[in-house]
Amino acid sequence: MLRVRSAFASFSTDDIHKAKRFYGEKLGLEVRDTPMGMLEIVLGADQHASIYPKPNHEPASYTVLNFMVPNIEEAVDDLKAMGVHMEHYPASPQMKQDEKGIARDPQGPAIAWFKDNAGNILSIIEDPALE
């Protein structure tokens, strides 16, 4: 059995300085520099994600980081006010997005996607229990 005490996600960027500005200044998250030249994005409750520089970075074609929010409408409006573009994907029968880019599936939570400075896909997911 794998005995895990904690875990974290990591993904790459093509420009660590732009990533620090995007996550720290644009999204307003706490960003820490590490001795190895990586960034640590503080996500709360002793959770973090690491971002490392990679010269031949290619953005992932899938979501690398999900942010849980109490109200997705407010979160989308806040992101747009910060100059963040919400992604719109080709409609599928179960995941149609509205004009704001929010997908509402009766079987799951509302979700919307956006990209960071390096083209990595991020999402916000509604969890009303967070209020």
Q: Which residue has better confidence, 95 or 24?
A: 24
Q: What is the pLDDT of residue 93?
A: 66
Beta bridge partners of 82: none
pLDDT tens per residue, range 60-113? 999 999 999 999 999 999 999 999 999 998 866 667 899 999 998 878 899 999
Q: What is the pLDDT of residue 3?
A: 83
Tell whether domain 9-130 is in CATH 3.10.180.10. Answer: yes
pLDDT tens per residue, range 6-22? 788 999 999 999 999 99
Distance, CA of 26 to CA of 28 (rounded, Å) = 6
Q: pTM of the prediction? A: 0.90
**pLDDT (mean) for 39-64:** 93
Name which of 85, 87, 20 is nearest 53 in CA terms: 20
Distance, CA of 116 to CA of 4 (rounded, Å) = 29
Distance, CA of 46 to CA of 89 (rounded, Å) = 33
Pairing of strands 9-13, 47-53: parallel
Radius of gyration of the chain from Cα atoms?
Answer: 16
Q: Whole-number mean pLDDT of the chain?
A: 92
The answer to whether the CB of 101 falls within 8 A of the CB of 76 is yes
